[in-house]
Structure 1
Amino acid sequence: MARLFPNSFAAPAKIARADGVYLTDTTGKKYMDASGGAIAVSLGHNDSDIIDALDAQERSVAYASRSVFTSQSLEDYAAELGTVLPMESPYIFTVSGGSEGVETAFKMARAYHVARGEDSRHKIISRRGEYHGATRGALDATDRPTYDRLYRPWLGQTARLPAYFEYRCEVPTHPQGCDDYHVAALEELIAREGAETIAAFVFEPVTGATTGVACATQSYWLRAQEICRRNGILLIADEVMCGHGRTGEWFACDHWDIRPDLLVAGKAASSAYWPLGFVAVAESVGRVIHESGLFVHGFTHSQSVVGAAVGLAVLKKMKQLDLVTASATKGKFFADALTATFGDHPNVGDIRALGLFAAVEIVADKESKTPFPRSAYVVEGIQQRALEHGVYVYTSVGMADGTNGEIILMGPAFIATEEELGEMASRLGRAIGTELLA
């Protein structure tokens, strides 16, 4: 008899229904969804407006190949996206999720350079401590040793920069000179690899599943953008986890005036009501790719009419309820609640938050920032106790040295009330406990 492939540290509860910020399993136990699954459910569960839009599109046209047909939902979605993206008159290519989006962006970057007669440009720059997906090209750019260990013989087209990670900064003179250090690292890498070999620099403006809500400064980004543009290197912003209002701006790039050539999004693009991601391409880049005819690419569900209808409904709901502002204001409340509840705990090394996106780093020793040994599975234990206390949180490991280091990631729905956000913090506090975790 066939069975689902196991995918959990502990036996998972069987989900039965969901509504608002709550999940209910088949035993009737309710859980507050403090992380929107994998930081994806931005509008909460069981939103009738989104479900109605999905149903209406399914009943008119459920599927039509974009190689032959367009649709009103796709045209309208692209137009609406263009009003909130940090680039002028972008081209939109929708896919089924973040990894597909990153793969697509890499192929677009390659096609752009070849169309311009620069066939030697094929390498990608990425930073340590960032996650860009699990497909082959995206995995090459990802810095997760536990993810790529088996597949390294297939990889090797990525050149790495140091992580820009304030809490665990590697700059010897920290906190002075950090921007200079990272700018110098970028210039040195380009000189070493040769600008003529580099296609793009992919980055998370706010990190997600690796270092957890770490971000660089505006001064760094202004200088990094100038260096890349001077050297003909495209900028690819990976906003799969941090985009669509999660950080209190429509896109995290807006915090630092980053203007990428390509932007990849997913997760909250559909609030997880449909597998949806997209690549937005600046007009100057997209036009070259399109006119060259070199970009031969697509998936069965690329440019899905239903996905576009769902994405459009999400955008309209976010505008109607001003949920980007809500993410910013409620995010400050949530960060304060987390800090007040367990900020003084001896094993809470750092609480990082921007909008309704928060990370709690768990350490064995607060003063030295020493992580627990990975073999102790500390963060998995906290997650299990959190479920017992009726709250779901997302966890990640490896941010200290690639193996050790543990964080709890949270991304509640923008519709959560302050009372619900406070209760999420309280339940997580009880899960962490008052005693030393060691």
Structure 2
Amino acid sequence: MLEIPGNVFPRRLDALLPMAKKAQGIYIEDENGKQYMDASGGAIVVNAGHGRKKIAKAIYDQILSHDYIHPTMFATKSVEMLAASLAKKAPREINRFYFFSGGSEANEAAIKLARQIHIENGNETKYRLIGRWKSYHGLTLGSLAAMGRTSFKKYFTPLLKENLHIPAPYCYRCSFGLTYPSCKVRCAMALDEMIENAGPQTISTFIAETIPGASIAACFPPDEYLQTIVRICDHHNVLLILDEVMCGMGRTGEWFACNHFDVVPDILTLGKGLAGGVMALSAFGVKETHFNTIKDNSGAFMHGGTFSHHPVAAAAGLALIEILEQEKLVFRVKIKGEKLGDLLKKHLLPLAQVGDVRGKGFMWGIEIVKDKKTKQPFKRSLKIVEGLWDALFEKGYITYKSSGLAGVDGDALVISPPYIIGDDEMEMLVKAIKSTFIEFFN
């Protein structure tokens, strides 16, 4: 056996992790031969399944043809074709795409782009950003400042630009103590109040996850929420950035999650599943009108990146889209996602510690509570979700952890398997989750 020297600065410092040996389909195998069902696609990334030969061949062919090409010196066919493929799927008017390596980069660049668009249009006083509490947009300084997940920010607050935040559309724990639909989406109207109070002439952009993912566990907003947000942004000339790094590329049963609501943002960000997890690839898409504003004025977006518009990563993304199309996997998510949701609700909602099961497609959240009637969460110090996750992992099932849903407390699991998971495997997964909850809390 190869001796591991131990020079990596690992993501986890609290545990020795098993060594992965092989990944195929929806399973990962460690060096001891143990199999794990990847029921979260890693960090909600793997959508077409592990070990796709079509993507491997596309990468191989692209490397042998031309690998690193600087995007200020040459155009490359794989990048051009990926942008064209995304434009065909994207909401109307979103037809220009700029490529990066990760979702944090895409969101950071989108925030900068919004500011430059305002400047080119003669609105230099528009510089402030509004985000939402309980949001996640990445860990670079700009995206970290935009997010509303305070646990990630506490060490670095002195380094961050102060931004404004409003409550998330989190009906299970409504910040206003209201109930949908009689609330008339009060959480959306909070944006109008914030803009008016801060001064519309100062607000550049509002950034929001179309479907809040990691922070409040697949919390699908009310149908009219985003339509209300769009009207408010349009009224105040505030650009809307929708973050679909996690929920895009078919995860909710639509190529883009905003299609569920028939809304079009000014800028839309993608990542994670854009190349199926095989290569580091992200992007923002922007309306043609905004692209032309930049092109016709300064003539350049004041941004860049050594590995932006990378032809090898683009080749992987293009192959991934072809797989999703040819195997009709996005439509499969729409249909099979209903079955997954029904199974989760049937088996888990009766449990005393499951407060809510929510989601759509292959993106589902299971909120864990101490008291179901009062929705009282467990104290974060108990690390309930970590304990459940470890118990499931030991059984060979990988899920995704969410915490801090109720202030600093609260726990949830996110279930987001690859789109190829079978009916029998979904039933195995849900039964394993149920039995683990029963064993853990008894």
Q: What is the TM-score with the length of structure 2 in the denominator?
A: 0.96
Counterparts of 1:191 and 1:41, CA distance in 2: 41
CA drift at 1:25: 0.5
The DSSP-based 3-state class of the residue aligned with 1:150 is coil
Unaligned 5+ segments in structure 2 are none
Counterparts of 2:257 and 2:275, CA distance in 1: 17
Q: Is the 8 A contact 1:202 1:235 kept in 2?
A: yes
Instruction: Call closer, same or farther: CA 1:67–1:387 in 2, change over 3 Å.
Output: same
Counterparts of 1:87 and 1:151, CA distance in 2: 38
Counterparts of 1:50 and 1:419, CA distance in 2: 27
CA drift at 1:2: 6.1
Counterparts of 1:381 and 1:182, CA distance in 2: 33
Answer yes or no: is 1:377 the counterpart of 2:383. Answer: yes
1:136 corresponds to which residue?
A: 141
Counterparts of 1:20 and 1:294, CA distance in 2: 42
1:199 corresponds to which residue?
A: 204
Counterparts of 2:345 and 2:195, CA distance in 1: 40
1:89-108 map, 5 Å: 90-108=95-113
The DSSP-based 3-state class of the residue aligned with 1:156 is coil
CA drift at 1:180: 4.5
1:335 corresponds to which residue?
A: 341
The DSSP-based 3-state class of the residue aligned with 1:207 is coil
Q: Is the 8 A contact 2:220 2:360 kept in 1?
A: no
Q: Deviations over 1:274-321 (max 9, x none)?
A: 000000011011111223235221111100001111111111111111
**Which of 305-314 and 86-95 deviates more?**
86-95
2:275 corresponds to which residue?
A: 270
Q: Deviations over 1:351-399 (max 9, x none)?
A: 1120010111111111111111111111111111101111011102101
Answer yes or no: is 1:360 the counterpart of 2:347. Answer: no
Counterparts of 1:66 and 1:372, CA distance in 2: 50
Answer yes or no: is 1:430 the counterpart of 2:435. Answer: yes
Q: Which amino acid aligns with 1:144?
A: R
The DSSP-based 3-state class of the residue aligned with 1:433 is helix
Counterparts of 2:383 and 2:230, CA distance in 1: 39
Instruction: Call closer, same or farther: CA 1:177–1:144 in 2, change over 3 Å.
Output: same
Q: Deviations over 1:69-127 (max 9, x none)?
A: 11111111111110101132511100001000001101110110111111111111111
2:307 corresponds to which residue?
A: 301
Q: Which amino acid aligns with 2:7?
A: R
Q: Which amino acid aligns with 1:4?
A: V
Residue 35 of structure 1, aligned match among 32, 40, 43 = 40
Q: Is the 8 A contact 1:345 1:434 kept in 2?
A: no
Q: Is the 8 A contact 2:220 2:358 kept in 1?
A: no
Q: Which amino acid aligns with 2:52?
A: D
Q: Which amino acid aligns with 1:349?
A: G
1:247 corresponds to which residue?
A: 252
1:7 corresponds to which residue?
A: 11
After superposition, the CA RMSD in angstroms is: 1.4
Instruction: Call closer, same or farther: CA 1:77–1:180 in 2, change over 3 Å.
Output: closer
The DSSP-based 3-state class of the residue aligned with 2:29 is strand
Counterparts of 2:300 and 2:184, CA distance in 1: 38
Q: Which amino acid aligns with 1:7?
A: R
1:217 corresponds to which residue?
A: 222
Counterparts of 2:441 and 2:238, CA distance in 1: 48
Unaligned 5+ segments in structure 1 are none
Answer yes or no: is 1:321 the counterpart of 2:327. Answer: yes
Counterparts of 1:353 and 1:2, CA distance in 2: 40
Q: Deviations over 1:21-57 (max 9, x none)?
A: 0000011110000000000000000011111111111
**Which of 221-230 and 256-265 deviates more?**
221-230
Answer yes or no: is 1:400 the counterpart of 2:370. Answer: no
Number of equivalenced pairs:
436
Q: Which runs of 4+ in 1 moved over 4 A?
A: none
Instruction: Call closer, same or farther: CA 1:98–1:89 in 2, change over 3 Å.
Output: closer
Counterparts of 1:183 and 1:72, CA distance in 2: 41
The DSSP-based 3-state class of the residue aligned with 1:91 is strand
Q: Deviations over 1:147-167 (max 9, x none)?
A: 100111122342111111011
1:391 corresponds to which residue?
A: 397
**Which of 391-400 and 218-227 deviates more?**
218-227
The DSSP-based 3-state class of the residue aligned with 2:50 is coil
Instruction: Call closer, same or farther: CA 1:414–1:219 in 2, change over 3 Å.
Output: same
Percent same amino acid at aligned positions?
A: 36
Q: What is the TM-score with the length of structure 1 in the denominator?
A: 0.96
Q: Which amino acid aligns with 1:56?
A: D
1:344 corresponds to which residue?
A: 350
Q: Which amino acid aligns with 1:350?
A: D
